[in-house]
Structures are given as structure tokens and as C-alpha cells.
Amino acid sequence: SLSEDVLATEEGADALLIGAYGALDGQNLGAGNWSVAADNWIYGSIAGGDAHKGSDGGDQPNINPIERYEADPSNGFFNDKWKAMYEGISRCNSTLTVLGKVEDISDDARARIMGEALFLRGHYYFELKRFFNNVPWIDENTEDVKQPNTTDIWPMIEEQFKTAMANLPEVQIDAGRANKSAAEAYLAKTYMYQKKYAEAKPLLENLIASGVTASGEPYGLLPGYSMNFNPEFENGPESVFAVQFSANDGSGGIQNSRQGSMLNFPYTKWCCGFFQPSFDLVNSYRTSDEGLPYLANYNQFPVKHDMGINSDEPFTLDDGPLDPRLDWTVGRRGIPYLGHGDHPGQRWIRDQAYAGPYSPKKNVYRESQADWAFDAGSWAPGTAINYEVIRFADIILWAAEVEVEIGSLDKAREYVNIIRERASNPDDFVKREDGSNAANYVVSTFDEPWTDQETAREIVRFERKLEFGMEGRRFFDLVRWGVADQVLNDYIDSESEKIIYLKGATFTSGQNEYYPIPQRQIDLSTKEGEPTLMQNPGYN
């Protein structure tokens, strides 16, 4: 261990900053593995109806109540998330404190380190805000860490990104660092969460016009949708800010190898069969013959599944039209699974009757990259596949949302079509060995003008669901749109016909939009006999 004065150099301050990046994965902070996964697979995707916990009923019982919106404040997963985020904040604060003591440093370097630290602090607080809503603010000047959680911290989060923007360079020294555009994008995201469309609009337009990646490459969509989940193409034009993962990096384990997703691989082929996509998500990818999505009634055109069919019994694939993004998002029987052979169905599923027939896919490595993108250093797989906190597709679809709310529906349609255009690239369809498409992929752009704002809004939101399925965003989107209550209760109704344990679950409006403040933290906030932290509504 070192003392603070040894670190008070430019190198030391940058090392503390790297430490602050090192907390992005949430791992090895004494606060759980998957409970703090950077991709929020539990809180963003499962709670948002993209997926089920998976595995079998007794495994990881803390997730069951989260999926049923019954989690209580003593559930340790929330405490883990809280601690991991504040550890990230603490590292940013240490960086800023020590940076203040560094004398021999150029102004540029000082501004850069400060900007990155503020960006990261903004990120950690953003996570806390959308998770818990009411959280205390701790920065490098806070002496007593027992602060109340009664002040809305949106203004402070905005401030982090604004100051970061002002200090960060456009082109960074390393691909994984936050640059000026990333700060601008995160500020726009902050506005989107507050429905500050007018403030977001110019930022998003500027980013679309002239945003660049940390390496200085202009923002743009990757030509193939699947390239976003392929480490070969990471930190490309679509990557605005990503959590960098590495495999076989000498650390002797998978702590830096997307450990938070380690459970989320098909079972028996690997461990542990968690994070199984929902019927609802799969059915959402059903298109009309023309290649357009069904918006409200997609469950009436269900995708054929192999529930209840053993792997050695015959099964014929659905031959109806499907959005090709389905087969990069969901592993399902009979579809090639990233070079590991065709998904065999039940054989890769731990308990089909419990959590359905599907497997996750975006976090799984390609067989051809096993040598370098897969880390066998633990009892479950590690991978080098980055998690995209913001990718350029986010910016485009936020811009579409903004246009629907305060701009032109035509412009909104244009943005959505950019996304759909890319999805329709036939070179990127899941292919069989003979080069044929694995399923009947039909996806097209919206060519008819949109006339009704309500429908347009629905289309844009649905496009986000399709584009970002299983990427940890859905729950938070539903909440910021204010539709979580209706959408999720409808989801429970339809999904519980097949996933029996969802029966009787209810999303309670006014409560389940936010997770409870961890009871442990309320207890630990006690000062003179009284807790400083207040519980969120509905959890007392």
C-alpha cells in the first residue's frame, strides 16, 4: 500500500483515475458479482420484461422477487449495487483530491484527468439516480458521508457532464477513455431521463453531425448490427462509451472479463443458464410480411418455440417473417449459436418448464474468437465483450424521441429508418454453414409518413425495444416514459401463461419505478439514533 503523498504526481492521479474506470464493472468491490453487473441484466432487462432469471427456481433466489416486483429493502442485491456505485464515486473523489495536490502537471493533463473523473462520477450517480431516485450526494469536499437523500441530484449530474465537456479533449489518449463527445452524449441521456427534450435536441443533433469517438473517428452505425457484440469491432464508430472488458489478461481470474455476466450462458455447454429471454421479447421480433413490427398485438403472432420438446425429438423452426435482430439477441433452438453449433433447445436449458426455451446471446463469445475473447479462468465463462453504456444507435433513437415530442414526425421516422436500414443489411443476417439465412428475415423501413404523434411515439419506443433487447435498458426506458405500470402488468398477464411463477405478480405504480433504498444503508446512516436516509415510497 502507498500513502497519498506518494501518489500526488501526474502518473499517480492518472492511476487513481484508472482505478475509477476499474470500478465500472462493479466487480471485486466486496459487493457481489452479477448483482452489480455493468450491463444491468437483472434490473434493466429482467425487470423490464426482456428476460427471465433463468436457471432453476432455487438458484439465486434474490432475483426472483426482483422479477416479481416484490423485492424488499433487505434484498442484498440492492445493497451490492449501492456499494459498488459509491465505491466508483469514492475513487473519482480520491482522484480529484489527489489531483488537487499535484503540482508538476500541465494544464491540459489536469483538465483531462478532472474531466474524466467528473464524467465517471456523473455515470455512477446516473446509475444511482435511475435505480434509487433519492440518493445522497458525496463529492471530494464532503466530510461526513452520512448525508441525507432528500435533494434531487439531477442538477448535480448535469453539472458533472457539463464540466466534463468543458475540460475533456475531443480525441483521447486511449480508446477506452471518455472524451468530450461522450460527456455530451451522457448529458443528453441525462436530459432524456428528465424529458428535457429541448435541452437534449441540440446536443443530439451536434453529436449526429460531428460527434467523434475517443479515437477521433466520427460517430456512425457499424455496418452490421451484430458487430456491436463482437469484440473484434469494439471501440468503433458506434461506441460512445463502453465498459472495457479483457480476457486472459494476467489477473488469474475473470474479474475483468465481464464477470457480472458469467451466469448468462446456455447450460451444460457452459454454466449456468441464467438470463433467459422472454416469450414476449421473442414475439416482438415478429414482422409483418412487409417487414414492419406489430406494435401492440405481436403476441398474437407468436414465434414457434420448443417448450416441452426434448432435444432429441424433432422440431421445425418458425418460418414466418422475423426481424433479423432476433437471432443476434436470443439463442433459440435450431439457429446457429455463434459458431458453437445450432442451439439444441432443451439440452442447453436448465429447466425449460421454469424459465422458457431461450438463451441469451449478446454476451456470449464467438467460437472463432475463443482463443482470445474467452477466459476459462473461473467456473463460469469470462469474455472480452465490452458493454456499450451508450452506443450511437442510442443517440439516433433519442433524437427520434425528441422529434416525436417537440419536432417533426418525419424527422423522427428518418432516424428510426436509419436504425432499421442497418438492421436489414443481409450480410449481417445469421447464416447457416451453406450461406443461407437461418430463418425468414424480413425487415424494412417505415416508408409511409407518420401522421399521428401517439403512434409515432409507440413506434420509436418499440424500435428501442428491438434494437436494445437484452442490453439492460428496457426497465429504465419504461420508467422514464412513464409507462412501466401498464406495459409491465400487461407483460405479466401474457407471459405468466407460460412462465407460471409470474402468476400473481404485480407492478405497483408509484413504488416499483424505483428500487428500495437498501435497508442496510438506512441502518448504517444512523446518526444520533436517527437514520439520515429515507426509504422510497411504498417500501416501508
Partner 1 sequence: QDRTITGTVYDINTKEALIGANVQIQGDPGGTVTDFDGEFSIQARTGDILVVSYIGYDAFDQEITAGKDNYEIGMAEGVLVDEVVVVGYGTQKKADLTGSVAVLDVKDMISQPTADVANQLQGRAAGVTVINSGQPGEAPKVRIRGINTFGNNNPLYVVDGVPTDNINTLNPNDIESMQVLKDASSASIYGARASNGVIIITTKNGEKGKVKVSLNSFYGRQVPKKGNVWDIMKPIDQANLKWLALKNSGKPLDDAQYGSGPTPTLPDFIQPNGASRDEVDFDKYFINPKNANDPKTYRIVEANKEGTDWFHEIFNPAPMMSHNLSVSGGDENSTFLISGSYFDQKGTMINTYLKRYTLRANSKFNIGEHVRVGENLALSFTDNPRTGILSEGSPIGMAYRIKPIIPVYDYYGKNYAGTFGSGLGNAHNPVALAERTRNNKGHSKKVFGNVFGEVDFLKNFTFRTSIGGALANGSYHSFSYPTYERSENTLSNSFSESSWYNINWTWTNTVNYTLERDIHSLKVLLGTEAYHNSGREVGGTTQDYFSFDPNFTNLGTGAGQKSNYSYGYEDALYSLIGRVDYTLNQKYIVSGTLRRDGSSRFAERNRYGVFPAVSAGWRISQESFMAGTGNWLSDLKIRGGWGIMGNQINIGGDNAFTTFSSALSNTFYDITGSNSSLRLGYRKNRIGNPDAKWESNINSNIGFDATLFDGRFDMTLDYYRKDVEDLLYSPELAGTAGTSTPPTVNIASMTNSGIDLFAGTRGDLTSDLSYNLSLTFTSYKNEIVSIADGVDYFGQTSLRFSDPIIRNQVGSSISAFYGYNIIGFWDTEAEIEAANQKAQQVTGNENTEYQTAIGLGRFKYEDTNGDGIITPDDRQILGNPNPDFSYGLNVGLNYKDFDLSVFFYGVQGNTIFNYVRWWTDFYPSFVGAKSYTALNKSWTPDNKNAVVAIQEDNGNFSTNGVPNSYYLEDGSYFRAKNIILGYTLPVNITRKFSSTNLRIYLQATNLFTATKYSGIDPEISGSDTSFGIDAGAYPTQKEFIFGINLSF
Cell (9 digits) for 103: 503540482
Binding flag, residue 299, partner 1 (CB under 8 A): no
Q: Which residues, numbered 300-339, are part of the site for partner 1 (CB under 8 A)?
A: 308, 310, 312
Nearer of residues 287 and 383 to partner 1, judged by Cβ: 383
- Binding residue for partner 1 (CB under 8 A) from 174, 410, 452, 493? 174
Residue 447, helix vs strand vs coil: coil
Q: Which residues, numbered 485-504, are part of the site for partner 1 (CB under 8 A)?
A: 500-501
Binding flag, residue 29, partner 1 (CB under 8 A): yes
Nearer of residues 288 and 508 to partner 1, judged by Cβ: 508
DSSP summary character for residue 43: I
Q: Are 429 and 228 in contact (CB under 8 A)?
A: no
Nearer of residues 270 and 441 to partner 1, judged by Cβ: 270
Nearer of residues 274 and 298 to partner 1, judged by Cβ: 274
Nearer of residues 270 and 446 to partner 1, judged by Cβ: 270
CB of 306 to partner 1, least distance (A): 13
Binding flag, residue 256, partner 1 (CB under 8 A): yes
Cell (9 digits) for 30: 466486496
- Binding residue for partner 1 (CB under 8 A) from 106, 141, 143, 250? 250
Q: Are 151 and 132 in contact (CB under 8 A)?
A: no
Binding flag, residue 535, partner 1 (CB under 8 A): no
Nearer of residues 157 and 200 to partner 1, judged by Cβ: 157
Residue 241: closest CA among 37, 394, 94, 396 = 394
Nearer of residues 257 and 287 to partner 1, judged by Cβ: 257
Considering only CA atoms, give the Rg of the chain. Answer: 23
Measure the CA–CA gap between 463 and 259, rounded to whole angstroms.
Answer: 29
Q: Which residues, numbered 420-479, are part of the site for partner 1 (CB under 8 A)?
A: none
Nearer of residues 302 and 377 to partner 1, judged by Cβ: 377
Mutual angle of helices 107-132 and 154-167, in 10-degree steps: 160
CB of 324 to partner 1, least distance (A): 26
Asked whether the CA dihedral 428, 431, 435, 436 is positive or negative, the reply is negative
Q: Which residues, numbered 146-165, are part of the site for partner 1 (CB under 8 A)?
A: 146-147
Q: Which residues, numbered 214-243, are part of the site for partner 1 (CB under 8 A)?
A: 231, 234-235
β-pair type (239-243, 359-360): unpaired
- Binding residue for partner 1 (CB under 8 A) from 40, 90, 261, 284? 90
Q: Which residues, numbered 354-383, are part of the site for partner 1 (CB under 8 A)?
A: 354, 372-373, 376-377, 379-380
Query: How many CA atoms, within 13 angstroms, populate the side-chain half-sphere of residue 373?
Result: 18
Q: Are 31 and 83 in contact (CB under 8 A)?
A: yes
- Sequential DSSP letters for 371-416: HHHEE-SSSS-EE---EEEEEHHHHHHHHHHHHHHHS-HHHHHHHH
Binding flag, residue 83, partner 1 (CB under 8 A): yes
